[in-house]
């Protein structure tokens, strides 16, 4: 399977046909009440293999104008993460490329060309999983971007707080087990993501 470093995601809901094993979710991103971009997620199941793909295109102005395009992919087999990749493009320049690869009872981590090892037998739940499965009784979630486990806390019914290493945090809110809203809290900005389309 070929993994591209940067994927510019062009989506037309009028022409897209999803198989019975595919699920598409589209989130609208808002900053100060204005729409600044979209996040698109695809979930595909083939037998015991589960594939997630997330792409986003966000353009906003803070102190200066910034446009960020990201692409993430995750592959699970028999409930275990076997591969993931994260790439980010900021204002036309590649800023990061990170991979997580299963290797026996550990994981090989690649961050901007440098390798390290995470001693963990099986990653069964990562940040992409948050969008499709409410994290009931889950206190740690693997971040493919930070390449470490992050703390997850239930703060009220169907709402969970994920703490990031830089001191920022996100809230994930669920309706009928599906993530319908994400609140992003940063020292520089706050953003909201609202589920606007789900197929099927």
The per-residue pLDDT for range 171-186, each reduced to its tens digit, is 999 999 999 999 999 9
Q: Is 9 among the domain residues?
A: no
Domain count, the chain: 1
Name the pLDDT band for 63 (thresholds 50, 70, 90): low
Q: Is 32 among the domain residues?
A: yes
Q: Is 7 among the domain residues?
A: no
Looking at the chain, which runs of residues are DSSP E strands? 22-31, 34-46, 49-61, 65-77, 80-90, 93-103, 106-111, 114-118, 140-143, 148-156, 159-163, 169-175, 178-185, 190-199
* pLDDT value of position 187: 86
5: β partners = none
Average pLDDT, the chain: 87
Q: Is 84 among the domain residues?
A: yes
Q: Is 107 among the domain residues?
A: yes
Q: Is 17 among the domain residues?
A: no
83: β partners = 75, 101
The closest alpha carbon to 191, from 25, 63, 62, 29, belongs to 29
Return the structure tokens found at 22.
């595919």
**What sign has the CA pseudo-torsion 107, 72, 177, 21?**
negative
* Count of CB atoms situated within 10 Å of the CB of 9: 16
Ranking 31-35, 125-129, 153-157, 178-182 by mean pLDDT, the lowest is 31-35
- Long-range CB pairs of 113-120 (<8 Å, 24+ gap) are 118/147, 118/148
- 9 has pLDDT over 50: no
* pLDDT value of position 94: 78
Q: Is 129 helix (H, G, I), strand (E, B) or coil?
A: helix
Evaluate whether 64 touches 80 at the Cβ level (below 8 Å). no
Q: Is 154 among the domain residues?
A: yes
Range of the structural domain that residue 184 is part of: 22-199
CA gap 188, 200 in Å, rounded? 36
Phi first, then psi, for residue 145 (nearest 5°) are: -80, -50
Percent of the chain predicted with pLDDT > 90: 72
Q: Is 1 among the domain residues?
A: no
């Amino acid at each position: 399977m070929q993994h591209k470093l940067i994927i510019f995601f062009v989506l037309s809901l009028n022409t897209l046909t999803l198989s019975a094993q595919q699920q598409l979710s589209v989130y609208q991103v808002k900053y100060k009440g204005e729409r600044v971009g979209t996040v698109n997620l695809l979930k595909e199941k083939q037998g015991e293999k589960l594939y997630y793909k997330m792409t986003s295109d966000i353009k906003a102005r803070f102190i200066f104008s910034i446009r960020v395009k990201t692409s993430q992919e995750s592959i699970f087999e028999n409930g275990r993460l076997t591969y993931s990749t994260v790439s980010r493009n900021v204002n036309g320049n590649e800023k990061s490329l990170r991979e997580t690869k299963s290797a026996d009872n550990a994981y090989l981590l690649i961050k901007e060309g440098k390798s390290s090892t995470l001693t963990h037998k099986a990653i069964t739940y990562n940040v992409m999983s948050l969008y499709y499965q409410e994290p009931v009784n889950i206190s740690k979630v693997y971040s493919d971007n930070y390449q470490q486990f992050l703390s997850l806390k239930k703060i009220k019914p169907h709402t969970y707080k994920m703490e990031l290493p830089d001191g920022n945090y996100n809230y994930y809110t669920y309706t009928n087990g599906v993530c319908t809203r994400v609140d992003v809290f940063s020292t520089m900005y706050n953003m909201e993501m609202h589920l606007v389309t789900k197929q099927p």
